[in-house]
C-alpha cells in the first residue's frame, strides 16, 4: 500500500480521504508511478454503513491507497465531524478526470463489469467505450469484459486483463463485489491501479441517466436515482440511517 496523502479521517470508524477532485487527481498521478496495483475506492453513505458492519469490506477500505468521498451524505457527515469537505468528488466525475489523464499520457484502460450484450448487441461496457472514445478520441482501451461471471472464471479474467497490458483497471460490479474483486486479485494484477465505479458504465452507455444539474447542485442525486429506480428504495434508506449514526457517534465523542 502506498500512502501519498495525509488527509485521511474516519467516518463511522471507516477511513475516508478528505480530498477534492484536484487533490485526488494529484494522488492518482503519483499512484500510477508506483510498481504494485494501487486500490482506489469511492465510498458513498451506503458503502460506509455496509463497511461499518462488514469487517472484510472495512479491511479492504483500510488498505486502499485513495478513498474518495462520494456523495452528499459524506459532505454532511464531514461537517458534523468538524472536518468539512469543501467539495464532494463524485465517482463518475473522477472516472472522467482519470480517462482524460490516461488519454493525455497515452496510458491504457481495461473495463470490467456491467451487463453483457444479448445476441449481436453490444454489452454495456462496449457501449460506454464507444461514447468515451467519441469524446476522448485518443483513449487507448486495452479490453472489456462483462461483470456476470462465476468465481471459477476469475483466474481467466485476471489473465485477460494482464495479457491486455492495461495500465489501469476500472471495475463496475457494484459494491462490495468490485472492491472484493480488486482486493482478492491485487497481488496477481499487473495494472498500476484499479478503481471500483458502481453504475458509472451504465451512465456512460446511456442506459442509466445521470441526475440533471438541478438535482446535482442541490445534493438531490439520491432523489433522482429513486425516481429512476424505485426498486432501490430499501438501499436508499442507508442515507438517513448513515446520518443518524454519524450524529449519534459524534454525540458520544467517537468517529
Ligand atoms: N454488476 C455486474 N455484475 C454483478 C452485479 C452487478 O457487473 O454481478 C454491474 C451492474 O450491471 C451495474 C453495476 O454493476 O452496471 C453497478 O450495479 P449497482 O447499481 O448495484 O451498483 P452501485 O452503482 O449502486 O454501486
Residues 35-77: pLDDT tens digits? 899 999 999 989 999 999 999 999 999 999 999 998 888 888 8
Which of ligand 1's atoms lies nearest the C-alpha of 146? 7
Read off φ and ψ for residue 98, nearest 5 degrees.
-65, -45
Angstrom distance (rounded) from CA 211 to CA 153: 35
Kindly list the structural domains of the chain, giving each domain's residue range(s) and its CATH number in brackets, ordered by start. 8-210 (3.40.50.10700)
Inform me whether the pLDDT recorded for 15 exceeds 80.
yes
Cβ of 116 less than 6 Å from ligand 1: no
Q: How many whole angstroms from 199 Cα to the centroid of ligand 1?
A: 6
* pLDDT score of 237: 77
* pLDDT score of 251: 77
Mutation probe of ligand 1 site: the residue of 116, 199, 234 with most atoms within 8 A of C-beta: 199
Cβ of 123 less than 6 Å from ligand 1: no
Q: How many whole angstroms from 41 Cα to the centroid of ligand 1?
A: 15
Q: How many whole angstroms from 70 Cα to the centroid of ligand 1?
A: 16
Cβ of 115 less than 6 Å from ligand 1: yes
Residues 72-118: pLDDT tens digits? 888 888 888 887 776 778 889 999 999 999 999 999 999 999 999 99
pTM of the model: 0.91
Mutation probe of ligand 1 site: the residue of 49, 112, 113 with most atoms within 8 A of C-beta: 113
Amino acid at each position: 500500500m502506498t500512502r501519498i496523502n495525509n488527509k485521511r479521517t474516519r467516518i463511522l470508524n471507516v477511513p475516508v480521504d478528505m480530498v477534492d477532485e484536484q487533490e485526488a487527481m494529484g494522488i492518482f498521478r503519483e499512484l500510477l508511478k508506483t510498481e504494485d496495483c494501487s486500490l482506489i475506492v469511492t465510498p458513498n453513505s451506503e458503502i460506509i454503513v455496509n463497511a461499518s458492519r462488514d469487517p472484510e469490506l472495512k479491511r479492504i477500505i483500510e488498505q486502499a491507497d485513495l478513498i474518495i468521498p462520494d456523495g452528499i451524505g459524506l459532505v454532511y457527515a464531514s461537517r458534523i465531524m468538524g472536518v468539512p469537505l469543501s467539495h464532494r468528488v463524485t465517482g463518475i466525475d473522477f472516472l472522467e478526470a482519470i480517462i482524460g489523464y490516461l488519454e493525455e499520457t497515452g496510458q491504457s484502460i481495461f473495463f470490467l463489469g456491467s451487463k453483457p450484450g444479448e445476441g449481436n448487441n453490444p454489452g454495456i461496457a462496449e457501449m460506454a467505450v464507444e461514447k468515451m472514445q467519441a469524446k476522448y478520441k485518443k483513449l487507448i482501451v486495452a479490453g472489456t469484459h462483462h461483470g456476470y461471471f462465476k468465481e471459477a472464471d476469475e483466474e481467466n479474467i485476471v489473465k485477460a486483463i494482464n495479457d491486455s497490458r492495461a495500465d489501469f483497471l476500472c471495475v463496475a460490479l457494484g459494491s462490495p463485489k468490485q472492491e472484493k474483486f480488486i482486493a482478492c486479485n491485487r497481488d496477481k494484477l499487473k495494472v498500476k491501479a484499479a478503481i471500483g465505479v458502481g453504475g458509472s458504465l451504465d451512465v456512460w452507455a446511456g442506459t442509466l441517466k445521470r441526475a440533471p444539474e438541478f438535482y446535482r447542485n442541490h445534493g438531490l442525486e439520491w432523489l433522482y436515482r429513486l425516481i429512476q429506480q424505485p426498486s432501490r428504495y430499501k438501499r436508499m434508506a442507508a442515507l438517513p440511517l448513515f446520518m443518524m449514526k454519524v450524529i449519534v457517534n459524534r454525540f458520544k465523542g467517537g468517529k
